Amino acid sequence: MPAISFEGRSYPVAAEQSALDALLAGGVEAAHSCKAGTCGSCMMRAVEGALPEKAQAGLKASWKAQGYFLPCVCLPDADLSVAKVGSDARWGAAITALERLSSDVLGVRLTCDTVINFRAGQYITLLLGGVLARSYSIASLPGGLDIEIHVRRIAGGKMSGWLHDTAKVSDRVQIQGPSGDCFYLPGNPDQPLLLAGTGTGLAPLYGILLDALREGHKGPISLFHGAVDEGGLYLRDQLRDLAARYTNLEYTPCLLRETDGSMACGSIEQVVLRRLPKLTGWRAFVCGDPVIVNLLRKKIFLAGAASRDIYGDAFVPSALT
């Protein structure tokens, strides 16, 4: 009889019993609703052990890659170790570089004490002094100790204010995570990719872009970065250089306000859909302001992209500033 281990305890699974039922029978208050593999409310993460294929049927590729599965339709045939979705692990890190990317965006390089397993485009939570916690997307590639984030100065923001005004190289912080399902996965290298975002939504998109290029993605890649005015655009030289080096990459900076005509103008979803009115078969990543992200996701879906090919990361501002 296989067993499921969860938070330090072991739960036996009877024949034809689902992982969810085994946990419920053992007294775990596991969230659930439909018990048929459709609503997604019972989703968990497999830490160890092989999942039956059915347990991940219909999930997004980026969820599958992280071991996410639906316990209600998981009939384990071997032992499984499972955890709640998300990660509470904490890691120490030092600030090793601070670089002004634009008038209000600061690039911060964190060097972790140990290699953290993440994917570009996921986010980490930065913890300071045990009380202050803010989430930032990862703009750099995995493989070493470094994690780069982009921090926009928020009026009255405690963490962004500290990073912009006070923090210096070698200051210590803590990191929690990584989390998030908005990242590039190899496979399907000819699929066209749309990357669109506003403000520091460029951070995860930049990481995703670097990842896709490193993986040798061959299909067209179209990156749109929107800002209110020119001061909000950053990494322009780096992106222009990349677009010159990789012929399949197109970089479109766009401004909300009227410009001299040298740059695309209008809200980002208008600019995207003017350029790419038909998105059937595309894989899309959208990041930044939640209102814009949700609008973009919907427009991209209506333009023909499959729902499971649309990855979004909406930046929800902290209620505590």
Query: Footprint of another protein on this chain (CB under 8 A)?
Result: 34-40, 57-58, 60, 290, 294, 297-298, 301-302, 306-307, 310, 312
The dihedrals phi and psi of 208, each to the nearest 5 degrees, come to -65, -40
In the complex with another protein, the residue whose CB is nearer, 4 or 305, is 305
Q: Annotate 24-50 with DSSP letters as a single string.
A: HHTT-----SSSSSSS-TT-EEEEESP
Residue among 4, 12, 8 at smallest CA distance from 48: 4
In the complex with another protein, the residue whose CB is nearer, 276 or 310, is 310
Distance CA 52, CA 163 (A): 45
In the complex with another protein, the residue whose CB is nearer, 62 or 200, is 62
CB of 38 to another protein, least distance (A): 4
CA quadruple 318, 295, 182, 158: dihedral, nearest 10? -20
CB of 40 to another protein, least distance (A): 4
CB of 283 to another protein, least distance (A): 14
At residue 93, the 3 state secondary structure works out as: strand
Distance CA 245, CA 221 (A): 13
In the complex with another protein, the residue whose CB is nearer, 152 or 297, is 297
Distance CA 141, CA 310 (A): 21
CB of 36 to another protein, least distance (A): 5
In the complex with another protein, the residue whose CB is nearer, 25 or 34, is 34
Distance CA 198, CA 67 (A): 30
Output the six-digit token pair for 272: 């995207």
In the complex with another protein, the residue whose CB is nearer, 86 or 144, is 86
CB of 107 to another protein, least distance (A): 30
In the complex with another protein, the residue whose CB is nearer, 38 or 103, is 38
In the complex with another protein, the residue whose CB is nearer, 95 or 286, is 286
Q: Annotate 141-182 with DSSP letters as a single string.
A: -SSSSEEEEEEEPPTT-HHHHHHHHT--TT-EEEEEEEE-S-
CB of 134 to another protein, least distance (A): 21
Output the six-digit token pair for 125: 């939570």
User: Cβ contacts of residue 138 below 8 Å, gap of 6+?
Assistant: 118, 119, 120, 121, 122, 123, 124, 147, 148, 149, 178, 203, 204, 207
CB of 16 to another protein, least distance (A): 14
CB of 291 to another protein, least distance (A): 9
